[in-house]
A and B are shown apart, each in its own frame.
Chain A
Amino acid sequence: MLRIPCPWCGVRDEVEFRYRGDAGKSRPAAAAGLAEFNAYVYARDNPLGWHLEWWLHVGGCRRLIRLERHTLSHEIRRVESAD
């Protein structure tokens, strides 16, 4: 069970959240071209280690948060609001 420290609601169980994937990606400019859009939509670093990711607190404040979590130990070391 992950215990996720929501910046708005405090520490809550993972079942209150929905995973929204890699937060290390940002949308390229409209004219960036196929290679950049392919990398944005499909390519993932998928590290064994620290991973920046989106979680949506659907069972709480309903806000999107960004956190840094270790993909082997599941330790969470940084949480921030997406705003």
Chain B
Amino acid sequence: MPPRPRPSTSANQPERSSSGRYSLGRLLREGLNGQRGWSRAWAKAAPRPRYRAVIVGGGGHGLATAFYLATRHGISDVAVLERGPIGLGNVGRNTTIIRSNYFQPANVRFYEFSLKLWESLERTLNFNAMVSQRGTLNLFHSEAQRDLFTRRANLMRLEGVDAEALSREQVKALVPLVDLDNGRYPVLGGFLQPRGGTVRHDAVAWGFARGASEAGVDIVEHCAVTGIRRDGARVTGVETSRGFIAADTVCLAVAGHSSELARMAGLTLPIETHVLQAFVTEGLKPLVDVVLTYGAGHFYISQSDKGGLVFGGAIDGYNTYGQRGTLPMVEEVTAAAVTLLPALARVRVLRQWGGVMDMSMDGSPIISQTPLAGLILNGGWCYGGFKAIPAGGFTTAHLIAHGQPHPLAAHLDLSRFAAGRTVDERGVGPFPWLH
């Protein structure tokens, strides 16, 4: 657990207090000391009138971008502007899954780099993000699907990524609750990525915020961007609810609302906003100890360390900015749940929520310069934003620092659409609601 923010007890405590290194020794000392020695994990900064870089959006990607800018590129003259508090956007609304089992080789390389960063993230941040590599298991239900998954696994292995084929019996041994012979879509087997898993998403936001703040970044909460100021084809800063802030570079990291922010700069993006729902059940004894996905519908499930089953499905399927979702998708997701795992029919769902996401026209994200000088876009994350946070932040920071895309994210440029180089992971064409 990170420390709760508490009011300063000392009058001469500096505003940017370091929360210090977290360690077992310190935990024991504070335990004996009434937990009085903890300080805020990140400073509550007020915005200054100008910065080298302003990052709009204090979610996972915005905070990670700021962290890597400060720690890898020595650029700490950076502000992260968040309209609400840190951690209440999509970084805290997803189903916390990490994996790199993609199809397009360039995507495999990008998400594999992200998975490697997750593997060392807790040491990098000195923060317990509860990275749990419990494995992600994708089930298949037809011979055609087995062939497709085999091809994907082979492509992954060519890139040096782990992928294992499991028989029906091995699936049953790993997840005994699976109904292999369910009447409609019998399970023929599965593919396991043993290094996939889950991460505690709140801790990712808090850990990156703390790391960025300690490296000198201003994290400005409750600061909504209301306009983007331009001088011809160059962006010069942002209008906010707390006044104008000038910047050499403005980076948008507001997936879900990228279109609205880009409109402030006069740009139209290849993105639609859709809602994706997630669910959590009452706490249970350990039942599902991998991340399990169903192949005959869109359904994925894992169990949190508190015991709740966390699961989700597909987007509702029409443009919406409403962070709630509607009932037909609730029915579809829960029907998939009880088809695959009939025992779940007796489990109560405690909570349901929705997050709005940028669904891009080819189903792949965008990390790119824009037609406006000084404006950088990190968005279009579709379903894949959470797992990509470390790599997204790393490569966006590279783009801001060097003005050139990082080689791992060069295929995610905005100009790919006009150039006919779309990265269509599922091959469905320019229909965002189908990705």
Which residues of A does B touch, CB under 8 Å?
1-2, 13-15, 19, 21-22, 34-35, 38-39, 41-48, 51, 53, 69, 71-74
* A44 proximity list for chain B (CB < 8 A): 259, 268-272, 361, 432
Which residues of B does A touch, CB under 8 Å?
257, 259-260, 263, 268-273, 317-322, 326-328, 361, 417-418, 430-433
What's the nearest-Cβ distance from chain B to residue A3, in Å?
Answer: 11
Instruction: Given A1-B326, A14-B328, A71-B319, answer yes or no on A38-B418 (Cβ-Cβ < 8 Å).
Output: yes
| Chain A contact residues: helix, strand, loop or mixed | mixed
Instruction: Give Cα A34–Cα B415 distance, bound, in whole angstroms.
Output: 12
Q: In chain B, what residue has the closest Cβ to A35?
A: B418
What's the nearest-Cβ distance from chain B to residue A64, in Å?
Answer: 15
* A39 proximity list for chain B (CB < 8 A): 268
Q: Can you list 27 contacts pairing A with B, beta carbon distance less than 8 Å?
A: A1-B328, A14-B326, A19-B317, A21-B432, A22-B272, A41-B361, A41-B430, A42-B270, A42-B418, A42-B430, A43-B269, A44-B268, A44-B271, A44-B272, A45-B263, A45-B268, A46-B259, A46-B260, A46-B273, A47-B259, A47-B260, A48-B260, A51-B319, A71-B320, A71-B321, A72-B321, A74-B320
What's the nearest-Cβ distance from chain B to residue A57, in Å?
Answer: 14
What's the nearest-Cβ distance from chain A to residue B318, in Å?
Answer: 4
* A43 proximity list for chain B (CB < 8 A): 268-270
Q: In chain B, what residue has the closest Cβ to A49?
A: B321
What's the nearest-Cβ distance from chain B to residue A66, in Å?
Answer: 14
* B432 proximity list for chain A (CB < 8 A): 21, 44
Instruction: Given A48-B321, A71-B319, answer yes or no on A21-B433 (Cβ-Cβ < 8 Å).
Output: yes
What's the nearest-Cβ distance from chain A to residue B420, in Å?
Answer: 9
Instruction: Given A21-B433, A43-B269, A46-B273, answer yes or no on A53-B319 (Cβ-Cβ < 8 Å).
Output: yes
Other-chain contact of B328, A15, A48, A71 (Cβ < 8 Å): A15
Instruction: Given A19-B433, A38-B417, answer yes or no on A46-B319 (Cβ-Cβ < 8 Å).
Output: yes
* A71 proximity list for chain B (CB < 8 A): 273, 319-322
Instruction: Give Cα A44–Cα B360 distance, bound, in whole angstroms.
Output: 10
Instruction: Give Cα A41–Cα B432 distance, bound, in whole angstroms.
Output: 11
> Would A46 and B318 count as touching, CB distance under 8 A?
no
Most A Cβ at <10 Å: residue of B259, B318, B361, B431: B318
* B431 proximity list for chain A (CB < 8 A): 21
Other-chain contact of A45, B259, B318, B326 (Cβ < 8 Å): B259
> Would A19 and B320 count as touching, CB distance under 8 A?
no
Instruction: Give Cα A46–Cα B255 distance, bound, in whole angstroms.
Output: 13
* B320 proximity list for chain A (CB < 8 A): 71-72, 74
